[in-house]
Structure 1
Amino acid sequence: MNTVMSWEEWAAHDATALAERLQQREVTAAELAAQAAAAVAKVNPALNAVVELFDDAIATPATDGTQLDSGFNGVPFLMKDLGPGVKGRLQEQGSLFMQGNRPAEDGFLTQKIRAAGLNIIGRSATPEFGVCGSAENPAVYVAHNPWNPEYTTFGSSAGACASVAAGVLPLAHATDGGGSIRIPAGSHGLIGLKSTRGVFSIAPALSDITGYVSTQGCVSRSVRDTANFIDRCRGGAPGEFMPYWHSSEPYATLINRDPQPLRIAVSHEWGNYSADPHFVSELERTVTLLQELGHQVEWVTPDIDFETAFAAQTTCYISNFAQFIQRLLEKKGLTAPPEDKVEPINIRIWQKGLNMSYSERWQMQDVFNSVSRKLGEFYQQWDMVLTPTFAKPTPLMGEKRYLTLSDNPDVLSWFYDLWEIFSYTPLASLTGTAGISVPLARQASGLPLGMHFQTRQANDGQLLQLAAQLERAMGGRFMPHSRPQVHVTR
């Protein structure tokens, strides 16, 4: 297939650089879409990261209202197969139960993405309903980590991260309800920001209050791409009943300046959970880098009752997901999820949460409130908290205990297995605060290891400022001297 750029040139461009070339009419949106499709053909047989390409959007990028004279000017983009709907396109959410599902309308964020000039050319792989930490169901698809395909992608933004890391395209849609942007970004060498609650709309299905922990976003290889995505896609839908945060200055401008010297608390022991020893040494190396950049870094852990927080968050996931499944069943006229269509742990979550009492839900909300207040007090003294993005090494493929294919009969036990490895990201989801994974380290396996910075509500811009400062300290690009085993340039 003919391509408009060499693969080395393609991999060197972020979305902002592609948008600039489109604006200068050096390339066309159709040419870029065709090159992205060629990239999928090149790497997807080894990765299974892309579920489907939309041939009409590749051939005619203005399809469905994409604004080719706005923002990203037609840069190709993948939507996660979960989250805001794309009108008339399949959205099967990684599940046999959802095969053939086509949303009747664009979600609000989908409209914003089109208005930002991003050309939605396909959908990326996710575990069933985004619940577990890896997209591994042989009956649907099995996605692989391009750094080493013997390892899991993590999840739930599995295909998005694998695609961007492998050089298919520079920017992709992702979602995060407990770390699903940040965790796979951390194991793929990408920037993954979970924005503050009240930045991206999840309309029309839910609001940021009724959804509680879930938010939208992207994964990218450059800080400026993430900043531009937020600037252009943030904001509430008509009728939203909570305030949406706004920035007095576009993030794309803000990140050109270093942040003021920051007070950063660093920790890896959160309640019963602590990091792998190699991760701790990489954390210490990151501390040294931050100190060299002029930041004050001290080993301090937020005074949070982590055990109570994890219990409340588990209740939230179980009760939210049970109601989600129940709505699907009612639409299909079913009384229970079919065992041959829904993965075992997801059926057990539905069973566990279906009849959860209002009292249990109220107690959960009470913990959400008290933990959020406590963390807010902590951020009166500290600008950020630094941890590794996850606590234990990325597993090899087929580690069933983390999958919704698990035969664990105890749903709570299954969730606590997840928290053992995904220890640090859920706090920002519970409190609605911002967190970012920045590719600063390596695991002993050679896979990337993200470092995770969290901050107070609406301080997303400072996270991006710090990430941009670290990017400049790395010579303008994270992990510049290494590439995944599976990559468009190979």
Structure 2
Amino acid sequence: MDDYAEHDGLALAALVRSGAVSPAELVEAAIAGIERLDPTINAIVYRAFDEARAAAREPIGEGVFAGVPFLVKDFGIGVAGWPNTSGSRFCANVVDQADSGLMRRYRDSGVIPIGRGASSEFGIVGNVETALHGAVRNPWHTDHAAGGSSGGSAAAVAAGYVPLAHASDGLGSIRIPAACCGLVGLKPTRDRNPNLPDGFDYATGFCVDHVVTRTIRDSAAMLDVTGRPEPGSPYAVPAKAGPYLDEVTRAPGRLRIAWSADTPGGGSPEPEVQAALERVVLDLAALGHELIPRSLGDVTAIYQARVAVSGANLAAGMARTIERAGREPQSGEIEPLTAAVLMQSRRITGEAALLALQEVRMLARAVVAQFESFDVFLSPVMTAPPPTIGYITGTSTDPAQVSQRQAALFPYPALFNFTGQPSMSLPLAMSTSGLPIGMMFTGRYADEATLFRLAGQLERELPWSHRRPRL
């Protein structure tokens, strides 16, 4: 398939169903792209090519993405027989014994998993530059970062290896790499994609899974497959009116859209990002929407409270990892930054962690309540275009320094992990140097439908599919 990378996932699946191409041809096209480009990009950390070729010879089934190649993030989600390193030398020999519950749902969609995309170590940093696997490079400009922690998945989709790939988001790890790589990245509502019986790290409610895609409809179609109720779950699944794929083609009507570039710390983005935001505001107004300049106020308290929650959750996750390994990490098996964060996290008491979680949940209510007066909130995803390789972590082992750099570059996404609201990055702008600039649209709690309708309109009126990275 010479034009493999020109199609989204649904289009490829339609070609398979029509008999125009076979799943085997799609798998070979994906493998060819990886073998040609990944020595430069370094997005893929595990290649399951023989397994994918065998799966492509089986009957395709009825899944909406039947026969379409797919990548899985190297963190969190289990795939039977595959390594799951979490980006860490300490987990270099970990092999999953079974598919996780969410992985079974991805298989229900008909995708053919072909490998794993790189993650930062235990998902801590919003970029992927690990001692185990090295740096993931941005297909738009290989001196720049692809974002994280789902950077391998995003770089792979942007480079055309696959039309969609699994990603996860605890503080922005779907939306940040989507913004860096010029993709669609939706963080669904909390529990829309169920935690399932094996989602221990999701207990705080910050983390969710979904996919990064090139088109809105691929994101909607996959959420229709995975975002269904989980039998036995103690958590209520937010209701939806109907299939999200149908919403993509529906007119959104006249929406009240609040917008701001104010950061939680009172800063502002670089002029190029500010100008891009203001252009999008004008475009939205021209489409008939009501644009309301309005920030969400001082939300620094919720960011401060979440530190103890995230730290305690990391320590608990590491305790499970250590129990599985039967030993503590040895010198050099986890990166200095991770070791420093873990040391700090282990000092957090149970009382402090629960008190912080209570604070986060109560403060989040005040944010969610503001959405009663508007439909969608618009901001940038990042304060600047994608940084150069090494900017965020460099050689630093000081968690405070890395945290400051991340807070300055990615101040917007995390708030909506704390509130649980759906939040989507769209590739609506480009920098003068040819790097993507993502805009973030956040909806009311459980209202992915409005986001899909608005995003579908923007994809039609302000299309981005003609823009391709240099690779």
Alpha-carbon separation, structure 2, partners of 1:235 and 1:192: 19
Alpha-carbon separation, structure 2, partners of 1:377 and 1:332: 44
**Normalized against structure 1, the TM-score is what?**
0.92
Contact 2:204 2:309 in 1 (8 A): no
For residue 369 of structure 2, the aligned residue among 364, 377, 382 is 377
- Residue of structure 2 in register with 1:358 after alignment: 350
- Residue of structure 2 in register with 1:467 after alignment: 455
Report the AA paired with residue 384 of structure 2. Answer: K
Contact 2:139 2:470 in 1 (8 A): yes
Most deviating of 164-173 and 228-237? 228-237
For residue 478 of structure 1, the aligned residue among 464, 467, 470 is 464
- Residue of structure 2 in register with 1:134 after alignment: 127
- Residue of structure 1 in register with 2:19 after alignment: 25
1:60 aligns with 2:60: no
Alpha-carbon separation, structure 2, partners of 1:199 and 1:41: 35
How far did 1:478 drift?
Answer: 1.2
1:176 aligns with 2:169: yes
For residue 192 of structure 1, the aligned residue among 185, 190, 195 is 185
- Residue of structure 1 in register with 2:224 after alignment: 231
Alpha-carbon separation, structure 2, partners of 1:114 and 1:472: 30
- Residue of structure 2 in register with 1:341 after alignment: 333
- Residue of structure 2 in register with 1:437 after alignment: 425
How far did 1:155 drift?
Answer: 0.5
Report the AA paired with residue 283 of structure 1. Answer: L
- Say which SS state the counterpart of residue 138 (structure 2) adopts: coil
For residue 287 of structure 2, the aligned residue among 276, 290, 293 is 293
Q: Deviations over 1:321-379 (max 9, x none)?
A: 11111221233232x43231101111112111113122212321222222221112101
Alpha-carbon separation, structure 2, partners of 1:397 and 1:432: 31
Alpha-carbon separation, structure 2, partners of 1:83 and 1:237: 18
Q: Deviations over 1:426-448 (max 9, x none)?
A: 01101111100001012343200
- Say which SS state the counterpart of residue 55 (structure 2) adopts: coil
Distance 1:215 1:396, change over 3 A: same
Unpaired segments ≥5 residues, structure 2? none
**Normalized against structure 2, the TM-score is what?**
0.96
Q: How many residues align?
A: 470
Alpha-carbon separation, structure 2, partners of 1:155 and 1:66: 35
How far did 1:240 drift?
Answer: 1.4
Q: Deviations over 1:29-73 (max 9, x none)?
A: 11111111111111111101111221233222268x996332111
Contact 2:315 2:346 in 1 (8 A): yes
- Say which SS state the counterpart of residue 27 (structure 2) adopts: helix
Report the AA paired with residue 429 of structure 1. Answer: N
Alpha-carbon separation, structure 2, partners of 1:12 and 1:393: 25
How far did 1:236 drift?
Answer: 4.1
Q: Deviations over 1:62-98 (max 9, x none)?
A: 68x9963321112110001112100111111111111
Alpha-carbon separation, structure 2, partners of 1:363 and 1:211: 13
For residue 393 of structure 2, the aligned residue among 402, 406, 421 is 402
Distance 1:467 1:244, change over 3 A: same
Distance 1:163 1:195, change over 3 A: same
How far did 1:27 drift?
Answer: 1.2
- Residue of structure 1 in register with 2:29 after alignment: 35
- Say which SS state the counterpart of residue 137 (structure 2) adopts: coil
Report the AA paired with residue 71 of structure 2. Answer: L
- Say which SS state the counterpart of residue 150 (structure 1) adopts: strand
Q: Deviations over 1:441-478 (max 9, x none)?
A: 1234320000001111111111111111000003xx41
1:420 aligns with 2:412: no
Alpha-carbon separation, structure 2, partners of 1:71 and 1:393: 34
- Residue of structure 2 in register with 1:316 after alignment: 309
- Say which SS state the counterpart of residue 144 (structure 2) adopts: coil
Unpaired segments ≥5 residues, structure 1? none
Percentage identity across aligned positions? 33
For residue 89 of structure 1, the aligned residue among 65, 77, 82 is 82
Alpha-carbon separation, structure 2, partners of 1:171 and 1:206: 22
Alpha-carbon separation, structure 2, partners of 1:138 and 1:359: 34
Contact 2:88 2:131 in 1 (8 A): no
How far did 1:479 drift?
Answer: 4.7
Alpha-carbon separation, structure 1, partners of 2:274 and 2:338: 33
Alpha-carbon separation, structure 1, partners of 2:51 and 2:239: 32
Alpha-carbon separation, structure 2, partners of 1:282 and 1:254: 26
Alpha-carbon separation, structure 2, partners of 1:247 and 1:454: 17
- Say which SS state the counterpart of residue 365 (structure 2) adopts: helix
Report the AA paired with residue 37 of structure 2. Answer: V
What is the RMSD computed on CA atoms of the aligned residues? Answer: 1.8
Contact 2:385 2:436 in 1 (8 A): no
